[in-house]
Structure 1
Amino acid sequence: MSLVVHVTGARPNFPKAAPVLEALADYDVEQLLVHTGQHYDDAMSDIFFRQLGIAKPDVNLGVGSGAHGAQTAKVMIALEELFTQRRPDLVVVYGDVNSTVAAALVAAKLGITFAHVEAGLRSFDLTMPEEINRMVTDRLSDLLLTTSTDAIAHLGNEGTDPDRIHFVGNPMIDTLLKHRDRFDAAGVREQLGLEGDYIVATLHRPGNVDDPADVRELVAAVHAVADQAQVVIPLHPRGRARLEEAGFLDHDGMRVIDPLGYLEFMGLVRGAAAVVTDSGGVQEETTILGVPCLTLRPNTERPVTITHGTNQLVTRQTLPDRVREVLAAGRLETWPTPPLWDGQAGPRIAAVLAGSVGAGRRAEA
């Protein structure tokens, strides 16, 4: 029986992997779920496994946090040992985190067939560590599983063999649609004591929070948003210091909370008047939920959320005015959604993966 190893490492990976693990269980393969421990506390990882019904990882490498090079190296060392002992027939990775590129390098050097879920996304911004991870991972991958047509075009422009590219849709949307009825916006509002319109913010990119001048501009922009509606920002305690020093929290309209589990966070987003973010996944989730999304970045690797969703790019200078326009317009009743974001990406991905190792469906499936 063929062995398929799934490598996950950080919060965004888990809702992408869940539908693939579930669908691949219908095939005659052995699955091994590896959690590298890149995100290692309960709010950032363990709670996702519980809420999404994912079995406890078979292996937890426990690499923890650290600088990009050190963290990637720790994952590589641990995965090389694991892959040498177990010798997978196929390795599957998700997204663009350090664990993703580490697994790609190890699998390529060991000559193990390798699949990348969410291949082909490009921001064309090499100051983003995630962009480097995406490019390296895709270059090494044998199977490139794409979520959007623009990703197919990017891979084609890079000379990728079309036979290696599979347009499968977005597995994170499978998870969202499966659990949408559990997103309790009213319950989260009551729990947090929120009244009236509120705006959710998720801000962590180096381009927004590393340079002191950028942080000062960010503080001014978000405070101008908080003048219009309460801003709720889930923020890990380790990430607060620099923002606190810059006066980010010195506004009555700012409400900082600890990171939430998947269901609680999606409930918070579902009830929001708008979301201000520099995160990739949130752009996709708001696209399906119909929540106006203001992406505080000069670019996005997910342009389909702009052409087929509720997302728009903003700068720190234009953010307050865009928020004012969004609040005045209110939520849309209908909006476009991207092709194949239909809740069936997991089965499509599983069919490609099973076919690559020659596995048929289980008799009881």
Structure 2
Amino acid sequence: ATMSCSIVAKKRGLKVAHLIAGTRSFDMNMPREVNRTIVDAISDYLFTAGMVANRNLNQEGMIPDYIHYVGNILIDTVRYNRHRLLQPVWFSSMGLEKKGYLLLTLNRHDLLDKKQVLSALMQTVVDKSCGMPIIAPLHPYVQKAIKALEIDAPHLHILPPQSYLHFGYLINNAKGIVTDSGNIAEEATFLDVPCITLNSYAEHPETWRIGTNELVNEDPVVLATMLERLMHEEWKHTTLPDRWDGRTAERIVQTLINGELK
């Protein structure tokens, strides 16, 4: 939708602004990598979340005046809602306590298709959690893939997807997170919650360079090491990336206003 709308807007003579411009996985087999590369190439405003994104755009020959380092717009939402988060009604009835559970999320279809890899990763999470509850809000297609593994783990609780405020509460109060989502790693960095990402890259490297995130790819051995570190309270604390302060929208609006005045 982002790519198609951008192309239509450009052909109608309208200006295009791309939020989170310059993020790259460098895997052109990913549809969204192709899409965002196209959008960046035709945008009039390239709003970036970090200096790595700036560098990517510069290396691709984008016009420097089009690039605006404004910060991560996702953090604006987290900052605004941080004090509005809601405890799910089932939280207490399940006997959960703050910082007393692990949060597990999975979404990537390519990982779910690798049944042996997925089984090894899931078994590692179960084994290294030391009996601590594992809360896993999952979409139906992910639930089906996990249940098909037939893992014996009474402390693994598979739940339906949660609302934004409920899920934000689970992130904010988890002892740690295991995920394949870059967005969750960004939220965890802002909230200073330990995060393990089942991927070989992060679209915002700030999450693992100075944030709370660690990349383990799809390696159960590395995952086990990180979970042991997490369970033994040996995790790094976050250093908030520059301009991830929840005021990105203000910078974007100001940039647009200044652009119209020229």
Question: What is the aligned partner in structure 2 of residue 325 from structure 1?
Answer: 229
Question: Displacement, 1:100?
Answer: 1.7
Q: In structure 2, what residue type is equivalent to 1:118?
A: I
Percent identity, please.
35
| Greater alpha carbon shift after TM alignment, 131-140 vs 166-175 | 131-140
Greater fraction of residues in strand: 1
| Counterpart-to-counterpart distance in 1, 2:172 and 2:234 | 14
Matched, 1:306 2:208: yes
Partner in structure 2 of residue 128 of structure 1:
30
Question: Who is 2:46 aligned against?
Answer: 144
Contiguous gaps of at least 5 residues in structure 1: 1-98, 360-365
**Shift in CA distance, 343/259, structure 1 to aligned 2, threshold 3 Å:** same
Name the counterpart of 1:201.
104
State the distance in 2 between where 1:211 and 1:246 align: 11
Partner of 1:292: 194
Q: TM-score, normalised by structure 2?
A: 0.89
Mean Cα deviation higher: 336-345 or 350-359: 350-359
2:17 aligns with one of 96, 109, 115: 115
Aligned pairs for 1:222-241 (under 5 A) are 222-241=125-144
Instruction: For residues 211-264 of structure 1, give each alpha carbon's deviation from its aligned partner in whole angstroms, at most 9, with x where no partner exists.
Output: 33333333333333444522111112243222222225x421211111111111
Structure 1 residues 138 and 231: CA distance shift in structure 2, 3 A:
same
SS at match of 2:47: strand
4+ residue runs over 4 A deviation: 184-188
In the TM superposition, residue 329 of structure 1 has moved relative to its aligned partner by 1.6
The separation in 1 between residues aligned to 2:149 and 2:38, in whole angstroms, is: 35
Task: Tell me which residue corresponds to 1:52.
Answer: none
The one-letter amino acid paired with 1:124 is F
Query: Match for 1:268 among 165, 170, 177?
Result: 170
What is the letter of the counterpart of residue 223 of structure 2? L
TM-score by length of 1: 0.65
Deviation at 1:201, TM superposition (A): 1.1
Matches within 5 A, 1:73-112: 99-112=1-14
Query: Which of 156, 167, 179 matches 2:58?
Result: 156
| Superposed displacement of residue 330, structure 1 | 5.6
Moved more, 279-288 or 233-242: 233-242
SS of 1:119's equivalent in the other structure is coil
Using the TM superposition, give the Cα deviation of residue 355 of structure 1 relative to its aligned residue in structure 2, in angstroms: 3.5
**CA-based RMSD:** 2.3
Q: Would you say the 8 A contact 1:188–1:264 is kept in 2?
A: no
- Separation in 1 of the partners of 2:150 and 2:207? 32
Would you say the 8 A contact 1:273–1:331 is kept in 2?
no
Deviations, residues 241-300 of structure 1 (Å, cap 9, x unaligned): 22222225x421211111111111111111111111111111111001110110110111
Conserved? CA contact 1:201–1:277, under 8 Å: yes
Counterpart for residue 354 of structure 1: 257
Q: Is the 2:47–2:68 Cα contact (8 Å) retained in structure 1?
A: yes
Secondary structure, aligned partner of 1:240:
helix
Question: Quick one: distance in 2 between partners of 1:275 and 1:181?
Answer: 20
**What SS is found at the alignment partner of 2:201?**
coil
Query: What secondary structure does 1:329 align onto?
Result: coil
Alpha-carbon distance, 1:352 to partner:
1.9
Cα distance in 1 for residues equivalent to 2:142 and 2:113: 11
Aligned counterpart in structure 2 of residue 165 of structure 1, from 43, 67, 73: 67
Give the whole-Å Cα distance in 2 for the aligned partners of 1:211 and 1:121.
26
- Give the conservation status (yes or no) of the 8 Å contact 1:290–1:309: yes
- Is contact 1:291–1:331 with CA below 8 Å preserved after alignment? no
* Distance 1:225-1:188 versus aligned 2 partners, 3 A rule: farther
Indicate the SS of the match to 1:200: strand
Could you list the per-position Cα deviations for residues 109-160 of structure 1 after superposition, in whole angstroms to 9, with x for gaps in the alignment? 3332111010011121234333222212212211100011110001001111
Cα offsets for 1:11-36 (capped at 9, x unmatched): xxxxxxxxxxxxxxxxxxxxxxxxxx
Preserved contact between residue 175 and residue 343 of structure 1 (Cα < 8 Å): yes
Which one of 88, 110, 117 corresponds to residue 214 of structure 1? 117
Q: Where does residue 345 of structure 1 map in the other structure?
A: 248
2: distance between equivalents of 1:104 and 1:277? 30
2:63 is aligned with 1:180:
no
Tell me the distance in 2 between the aligned counterparts of 1:136 and 1:277: 28
